[in-house]
Amino acid sequence: MTSAVKAMTKVIILLGCVETVVLFAWLGGKAAAGVALGSFGAVMNLLILWHDVRKCVAKRKPMIVSGFIVRYTISGILLFLAGLLSVSSIFGAFLGLINGKIAAFLSWRWIGEDQVVKKS
């Protein structure tokens, strides 16, 4: 795993832990379970994306649609499962899934543009 993927995974887990504690105190256990579920999905989506990118770079071919479909199907299934619990768990799962987007932004800022450009 590259340092960027490791940093993003750590950020997703850290955000998930903080959000779980805050939502548990604010909305209860079902919302906290939703955040945990969503954060798990965000880590899975990140690892699947990393695997797809590695495969495409090795084969020197463009990204295929099936990886995109798999990632968003996983997100949809997680939101559906959260919906079976309660409305607050849907909110929590959505917040957990958004952790992947937030982690991409924060990790890029922490690593810095200089290191990203040097590695390319």
Under DSSP, the state recorded for 62 is P
d(CA 54, CA 67) in angstroms, rounded, equals 12
Distances in Å between the Cα of 116 and the Cα atoms of 37, 54, 90, 110, 111 are: 30, 16, 35, 11, 7
Separation of alpha carbons 38 and 50, rounded Å: 18
* Ranges of each domain in the chain: 3-119
Question: What percentage of the chain exceeds 90 in pLDDT?
Answer: 34
Across residues 61-89, what is the average pLDDT? 87
Reported pTM? 0.80
* Average pLDDT estimate for 69-83: 92
pLDDT at residue 39 greater than cutoff 90: yes
Identify the CA nearest to 45 among candidates 14, 12, 90, 15: 12
User: Is the model's pLDDT at 17 over the cut of 70?
Assistant: yes
